[in-house]
Structure 1
């Protein structure tokens, strides 16, 4: 009996304008506008709904100078998901743009790498440059969930459900994990911040927010290996995701894409 088959939605909730030189260590000789999109993902199938990452809210957007385009709750509602009923949330890591919106998932178990929890509550947070991507309120919320028995620590390589596996890669954050999902077109890898952009893997360029550069580059290899082909890699912040993958609905162009379906065109690096 084969693994379960799932659908995957990429839901954009926020946007930030920036230049290409800001997205790669050492800059970019092809400097120009290279904005960043912010996503959460939903995996559905086999009677399950799993949310991957929880984004940030308007208060955090104002604090960090980001623009909310539609709330995470709006995106979930559009695909028929009631966040109050979600039972499983995978947090790829605990940076502010992946671990906010604390009120949305009151019933959920939160699946996180133990190494990530240790990282964001340990001595590395004594350094301003390492703690900057984290929000204290998000870390505190995870501690509260831990004492409510709502945190599940995952192994370095782990199976969430048949057809959904989790893999710690580190690099960007010490406990960063990626999610591999079985779909009709084969295994698709939600790379999250193991690859912010298609160019990170396609050109092997490192993103400037990094804890361990060696782990980041090794993570590119892991993503490639688990996906099997580059057209089954979904980066965490690239606006091209919404351009090359089919929209989930006619009114979801530029907002919600089906990344379990084949891309209609190839990305540029």
Structure 2
């Protein structure tokens, strides 16, 4: 079954160092990093969601880094503008459990959440340098994703959600990092999340064919996961790149 992919912007973190997103490349350059809820709509009109974005801007700015969100980018409003009723969504996949990817699970009251078991295990007790990204209990946080654990399906490895929609385990950035691979009218697209924050992570930069992020738990896994993406996808869409919004949907609306 073929689907269409719509990136929904739910705020942005200004002034992110590109050298952090693309290990050591473009030193001194900064970029605005969008936070995205991905909407995948199949031929019947059924919607599957990947990630739920950051919590409110005041919280993110106070606990993490400067973050901006317009009224139009409020998650409920942005989803409505994309034609999505969150109450009608039955499946939400969490690519991983960093705060900017699971901060609005409450908007989906009837959904089952899907996440790797290894991601949940690490999110509870990550290494100290990763604790803030996970809003870990060791720092006094109560992780927001815990509120929906009674509706969460823990998976291990690759999973087919339905024909034409698969989950690919691509560890490296985090232990349970998961890409969503979507069959479309223009080929097979992978929503790579933070494994590829920018297009250049996948396309290469400087002397490198592919470029990992500086944020990772296992560099060997990271490189193996690049190979897995190459095996399973024709097109890779990054998780924090403003250029994904140069197109309103993937493939383009006039291509089905």
Q: Same fold (TM over 0.5)?
A: yes
Is the 1:169–1:219 Cα contact (8 Å) retained in structure 2?
Answer: yes
- Pairing of 1:62-77 with structure 2 (within 5 A): 62-63=61-62, 64=64, 65-69=66-70, 70-77=73-80
Deviation at 1:62, TM superposition (A): 2.5
- In structure 2, the partner of 1:261 is 252
CA shift digits 1:122-167 (9 cap, x unpaired): 4xx2x32022211248864433433x3x111223111011110001
Matched residue SS, 2:244: helix
Within 2, Cα distance between the matches of 1:5 and 1:85?
20
Match of 2:47 among 46, 49, 52: 49
Most deviating of 185-194 and 30-39: 30-39
Residue of 83, 88, 100 corresponding to 1:85: 88
| 2:163 counterpart of 1:162 | yes
What is the alpha-carbon distance in structure 2 between the residues aligned to residue 144 and residue 13 of structure 1? 21
Give the drift of 1:53.
0.2
Taking the TM superposition and a 5 Å limit, the aligned residue runs for 1:107-122 are 107-122=110-125
Give the superposition deviation at 1:30.
5.7
Q: Residue 8 and residue 242 in structure 1: after superposition, are their counterparts in 2 closer, same or farther (change >3 A)?
A: same
Counterpart of 1:172 in 2: which secondary structure? coil
In the alignment, is residue 198 of structure 1 matched against residue 189 of structure 2?
Answer: no
Structure 1 residue 182 corresponds to structure 2 residue 180: no
**Offset at residue 91 of structure 1 (A):** 0.4
What is the distance in 1 between the residues matched to 2:6 and 2:61?
26
Please state whether the residue corresponding to 1:156 is helix, strand or coil: coil
Q: Is the 8 A contact 1:93 1:112 kept in 2?
A: yes
Give 1:254's aligned residue: none
For residue 192 of structure 2, give the secondary structure of its aligned residue in structure 1: strand
Residues in 2 aligned to 1:9 and 1:190: alpha-carbon distance in whole angstroms: 11
Scaled by the length of structure 2, what TM-score is found? 0.86
Q: For the aligned residues, what is the CA RMSD?
A: 2.1
Deviation at 1:29, TM superposition (A): 4.7
* 8 A contact 2:86–2:108 mirrored in 1: yes
Partner of 1:226: 232
Return the match for 1:97 from 74, 95, 100: 100
Question: Unaligned stretches of 5+ in structure 1?
Answer: 246-256, 263-269
Q: Would you say 1:7 and 2:4 are equivalent positions?
A: yes
* Structure-1 separation of matches of 2:167 and 2:195: 13
Deviates more, 1:89-98 or 1:52-61: 52-61
CA contact (8 A) 2:103 2:145 kept: no
Instruction: Give the TM-score normalised by structure 1.
Output: 0.82
Contact 2:191/2:237, CA 8 A, preserved across alignment: yes
Q: What secondary structure is seen at the aligned counterpart in 1 of 2:100?
A: coil
Go from structure 1 to structure 2 and tell me whether the alpha carbon gap of 1:157 and 1:139 turns closer, same or farther (over 3 Å shift): farther
Q: Which runs of 5+ in 2 are unaligned?
A: 205-209
Moved more, 217-226 or 131-140: 131-140
